[in-house]
Amino acid sequence: MQALTHRAKQVNRSPMNFWERLYLPAIFQGMSITLRHFFKRKVTYNFPEQQRSFSPVFRGLHILNRDAEGRENCTACGLCAVACPAEAISMEAAERQPGEEHLYREEKYAARYEINMLRCIFCGLCEEACPKDAIYLSETFAPSDYERKQFIYSKQDLLIPHPINEPEEYKKALGNRAKPEDKS
């Protein structure tokens, strides 16, 4: 058959020698490689029973932060939403009313705050843009689900537990950010 291009290469098809025709040496060589890997350290994890440790700079699920008195840090300034390259963040601002000083740290707060985890690329730019230390990326995954709407995380899903009312959950949510005094 005539070649369509001139890139064909001649393959050297020299006849097999006696050992190659036996196939046994090749089989034993393959078995020895399998056996060698059998005793090597395993690179796979038996998830979820076995959890792998993450890098200290791992960026996971977002947390909306509170101050030491449990007041929400977020002032709904919108800088995180502007910085987000995936347009995953949306919010609505509201004005703090008299008597709500124990709930919100400043005069303005986020009445609604949502992150679409299907859009998020976990780049961490929202955390960097925030002037109020109100959002950070934790060491947790967004759990899997069957419905897309479950990946729209509301403010209640994202808010860190109250440090005074739920101290244990608060310490757990802090993760690597916990100071030595928080861990005790």
Instruction: Give the amino acid at 117.
Output: M
Task: Name the residue nearer to ligand SF4 (CB basis): 80 or 174.
Answer: 80
Q: What is the DSSP letter of 83?
A: H
Task: Name the residue nearer to ligand SF4 (CB basis): 34 or 105.
Answer: 105
Ranges of H-type helices in the chain:
18-22, 24-38, 79-83, 125-129, 155-158, 167-174, 180-183
In degrees rounded to 5, what are phi and psi of residue 127?
A: -65, -40
Least distance (Å) between residue 7 CB and ligand SF4: 45
Residues of this chain that bind ligand SF4 (CB under 6 A): 74-80, 83-86, 88-89, 91, 110, 115, 120-126, 129-130, 132, 134-135
Task: Name the residue nearer to ligand SF4 (CB basis): 79 or 174.
Answer: 79
Least distance (Å) between residue 147 CB and ligand SF4: 20
Least distance (Å) between residue 88 CB and ligand SF4: 4
Task: Name the residue nearer to ligand SF4 (CB basis): 88 or 173.
Answer: 88
Distance CA 175, CA 141 (A): 13
- Candidates 130, 138, 122, 127; CA nearest to 178 is 138
Least distance (Å) between residue 112 CB and ligand SF4: 11
